[in-house]
């Protein structure tokens, strides 16, 4: 017997494009590849970068710049998947208007604030999905709705041999410590990385710190590092796979992190990782086995770990090999299959409660 038709309406009302938006698109693409009678639509802002990044043409786009918009512009879906906080409000209103069940994915490590509207909107969800163990713990402590864990996944960043060769030539003779992330220090901790760069410029003068990304702290961070000749701000780059190919180490000194899906891309390209021991990162990195974990906000510890690996190529290779072996559980196909099982479970439960639905 074939599976019943399923229409999933994804909702992501974010203004920008960060890890959560990339994961939204990866899921849409993975579900499209599964087939199985699945159709999809996406509710997003009219100015959302999701529209330009979406490569699945059969997905219907629905305009909504806030939670009150877009509910009656298309046939009612089987269920709604809310991918960020404002989307949860949209999904709750859709359920109130048309009875559509919904689930939400929680991607940030901070506990959900215990406020009446949060209790209402989370409590009405059929499922809350956590991307890491720390988020799962917080959600279960609230006990507002059933919870399960489905981690974020690697994005499969491609690389262009010609561009990689040009980058290798550009950085010839310079080991590269790379970082990719939004330039928001309170989240990603770039100032900790600058501290490490100051500490290493004397002992390892040939090393270059290469930071990719843009964000609200870009100008301030550039100003603070003007005296650091070993720091290069590369800005936003769409071809991060090319840069990952030339990195000697990947530094990720986040102050808080839901999971850190960028680490999966570094692992996929064989780059050894030094990261903060914070929030969801230990779900991906086993300290001393598949990477090195250091205390958050500790430039001395970060620089010491980087220095040790710079001086030990065999250990770098061992860490990268062990990290790559963990990736099978973090592929888009695995995420798509897990979410599909979740969707089917929600609809089966609903049919058991209301057989006429």
- pLDDT digit string, tens, across residues 293-347: 999 999 999 999 999 999 999 999 999 999 999 998 899 999 999 999 999 999 9
Of residues 339, 212, 185, 336, the one with CA closest to residue 266:
212
Are 302 and 192 in contact by the 8 Å Cβ rule? The answer is yes
**pLDDT greater than 80 at residue 172:** yes
Q: Which of 4-8, 70-74, 166-170 has the highest mean pLDDT?
A: 166-170
**pLDDT greater than 90 at residue 35:** no
Of residues 107, 97, 94, 92, the one with CA closest to residue 62:
94
**pLDDT greater than 60 at residue 2:** no
- Sheet holding 60-63: strands in order across? 60-63, 38-44, 6-11, 79-82, 102-106, 127-130, 147-149
Of residues 288, 234, 246, 240, the one with CA closest to residue 264:
240
- Name the band, by pLDDT with cuts 50, 70 and 90, for residue 3: low
- Name the band, by pLDDT with cuts 50, 70 and 90, for residue 164: very high
- Rounded Cα distance between 165 and 315, Å, is 25
Q: Which CATH superfamily is domain 161-329 in?
A: Glycogen Phosphorylase B; (3.40.50.2000)
pTM: 0.91
- 3-class SS of residue 295: coil
- Rounded Cα distance between 245 and 66, Å, is 40
Sorted by where each begins, the domain ranges of the chain are 6-153+331-353, 161-329
In sequence order, what E strands does 96-183 have? 102-106, 127-130, 147-149, 176-180
- Which of the pair, 169 or 74, is modelled with greater confidence? 169
Q: State how far Cα 88 lies from the chain centre.
A: 18
- Rounded Cα distance between 47 and 45, Å, is 5
Same topology for domains 6-153+331-353 and 161-329, yes or no?
A: yes
CATH of domain 6-153+331-353: 3.40.50.2000
Place of tokens 């209402």: 120
DSSP state letters, 68-114: TSSTTSS---SEEEE-SHHHHHHHHHHHHHH---EEEEE--SSPPP-
- Name the band, by pLDDT with cuts 50, 70 and 90, for residue 356: low
| pLDDT of the residue at 1 | 39
Give residue 70's region: left, alpha or beta (phi > 0; psi -120 to 50). Answer: left
- 3-class SS of residue 297: coil
Q: Is 210 exposed, middle or buried (0-12, 13-18, 19+ CB in 10 A)?
A: buried
**pLDDT tens track for 219-241:** 999 999 999 999 999 999 999 99
């Amino acid at each position: 017997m074939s599976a019943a038709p399923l229409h999933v309406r994804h909702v992501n009302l974010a203004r920008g494009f960060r890890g959560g938006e990339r994961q939204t698109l990866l899921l849409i693409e993975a579900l499209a590849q599964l087939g199985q009678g699945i159709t999809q639509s996406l509710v997003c802002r009219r100015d959302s970068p999701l529209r330009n990044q979406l490569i699945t043409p059969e997905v219907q786009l629905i305009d909504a710049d806030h939670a009150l918009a877009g509910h009656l512009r298309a046939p009612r879906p089987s269920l709604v998947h809310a991918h960020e906080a404002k989307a949860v409000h949209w999904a709750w209103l859709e359920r109130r208007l048309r009875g559509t069940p919904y689930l939400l994915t929680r991607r940030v490590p901070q506990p959900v604030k215990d406020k009446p509207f949060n209790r209402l909107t989370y409590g009405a969800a059929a499922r809350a999905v956590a991307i890491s163990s720390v988020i799962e713990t917080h959600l279960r402590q609230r006990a507002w709705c059933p919870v399960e864990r489905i981690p974020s996944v690697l994005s499969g960043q491609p690389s262009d041999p010609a561009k990689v060769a040009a980058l290798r030539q550009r950085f010839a003779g310079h080991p590269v410590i790379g970082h990719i992330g939004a330039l928001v220090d309170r989240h990603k901790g770039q100032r900790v990385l600058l501290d490490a760069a100051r500490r290493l410029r004397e002992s390892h003068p040939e090393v270059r710190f290469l930071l990719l990304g843009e964000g609200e702290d870009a100008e301030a961070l550039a100003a603070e590092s003007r005296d650091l000749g070993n720091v290069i701000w590369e800005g936003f780059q769409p071809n991060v796979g090319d840069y990952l190919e030339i990195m000697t180490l990947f530094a990720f000194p986040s102050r808080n992190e839901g999971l850190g899906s960028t680490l999966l891309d570094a692992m996929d390209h064989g780059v050894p990782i030094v990261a903060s021991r914070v929030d969801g990162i230990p779900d991906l990195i086993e300290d001393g086995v598949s990477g090195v974990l250091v205390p958050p906000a500790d430039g001395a510890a970060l620089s010491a770990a980087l220095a040790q690996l710079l001086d030990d190529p065999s250990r770098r290779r061992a860490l990268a090999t062990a990290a790559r072996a963990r990736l099978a559980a973090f592929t888009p196909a695995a995420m798509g299959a897990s979410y599909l099982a979740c969707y089917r479970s929600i609809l089966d439960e609903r049919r058991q409660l209301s057989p006429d639905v």
